[in-house]
Structure 1
Amino acid sequence: MRIVVDLNRCQGYAQCVFLAHEVFRLSGDETLTYEPNPDDEQRLRVQRAAAACPVQAIVIDRLEGAERSVTP
């Protein structure tokens, strides 16, 4: 999983920080920092954080090859 935050759109509401504090952090007063490639175990939290963003600044992208299942 790869996430991208449009920092020009982000207004520092920090809903993402509350929902996925392992991935999103506030530095200083309103500067958001984040882990662009969090573990898949964080997927649900990151999806909830993206959905909760009031300005929809968080985009979640699947990495190539991820989520592929091999059928025998």
Structure 2
Amino acid sequence: MTEEIKSEVISRRRVFSLLGLAASSLVVATIPVSPQVTPHGVELSVDQAQAYTYRRARVTTRRVSRRAYRRGYYY
């Protein structure tokens, strides 16, 4: 029962092909997709990302501070 194990060398083209396939599948896996039920059936839609930037944080803080000042709450 002696079986010879043949080691097969993978070419560079095949390695780069597999790396490209793995990278593209990672990119596709990170896209936020959610199913939506419609009268026509189930559809897939891509979720919209809402960025919370530094400017948005300043505007929100300023707005909250103004409202608190009008109500008599001082920081």
Instruction: Decide which structure has the larger Cα Rg and report it.
Output: 2
Q: Which has the higher strand share?
A: 1
Q: TM above 0.5, one fold? A: no
TM-score by length of 2: 0.20
Structure with more of its chain in helix, by fraction: 2
Greater length-normalized contact order (CA 8 Å, ≥ 6 residues apart): 1
